[in-house]
Copies of this chain bind each other. A is one copy, B any other.
């Protein structure tokens, strides 16, 4: 093991507790003593043993971030912000992946593989509100990106319904008449899919337009590709709102491969504002959630939960978003 307080204490000629006091910035330490101790600390390159500290005071300084998959760009970008926001609180972040698997989501909720973490930021897909409410583990919890209505935990997300409605309105505003939605899910009850679908429906209803909804299993490019390919055979939409950018990029590939043009033949919009969509050809119209704000709020909520043992009511916080209009929904040019 490395150097302990004891080693430092011996070198500095003081007691272990005095060294501890210096390390923890306790006020009443004589300047001379403090200097001695600090020199010894530096000489021995002391690092606190967090296992011991944690054992003593029940804190680890580590939080967990559980999400479906790290290699989905949206979650990767979000993770970066969460790690940065946590760093400001001097927290470290352990990342766990659920792959959207119900069993693994249950395990996460039940405790991060038996490790004690101070808190958990969780982006669930498969698990339902009832199970969330019934959890026994009492680790501080913040839910991310999903609305468990009147749920048992704090929650941050953008207003998915409104965002979806905005995008759909934008597509309708282009003069398109056959606007399809791509990304509904049969299974996922608690994900964002139902919310985005609701937003799409609101907009379509408001304009008295017929709905076309394509369903997918997951939210990957491959699913977007497959669903769009099918859609091109069944119906021939002239605009498609994909429930996330990965689906949209897969759909874009399908449309272009089939010889049709974007936005000439089909206007296309996504949601998430992942970087790929800013460099695709054409660039992708999308909704940009303020990921930094999402991460920051999540960490702040978690901080409050961890500090305030008091069980106040669960908070529901909305983060901002912006509609980013790009080439994939530009007015058809004569070229």
Contacts and interface: CB of A to CB of B under 8 A. Distances in A.
Interface residues of A, number: 53
The number of times this chain is found in the oligomer is 2
Nearest to A112: B92
A139 to B, nearest CB: 9
A205 to B, nearest CB: 32
B92 A92 contact: no
Given A49-B55, A253-B281, A281-B281, A275 B115 contact: no
Contacts of A77: 71
Interface stretch (A14-22, A56-64, A162-170): A56-64
Interface string A271-287: 00001101111000000
A70 interface: yes
A110 B283 CA distance: 42
A265 interface: no
Contacts of A281: 252-253, 256-257, 280-281
Interface of A: 1-2, 45, 47-52, 54-55, 58, 60-62, 69-71, 73, 76-77, 79-80, 83-84, 90, 92-97, 111-116, 136, 221, 225, 249-250, 252-253, 256-257, 275-276, 278-281
Going nearest first, the 9 A-B pairs with the smallest beta carbon separation are A76-B76, A51-B54, A51-B55, A71-B77, A253-B279, A71-B80, A256-B281, A221-B279, A51-B51
22 contacts: A50-B115, A50-B116, A51-B54, A51-B60, A51-B116, A61-B115, A71-B73, A73-B73, A73-B76, A79-B95, A83-B97, A84-B97, A90-B113, A92-B94, A92-B115, A94-B94, A221-B279, A252-B281, A253-B279, A253-B281, A256-B281, A280-B280
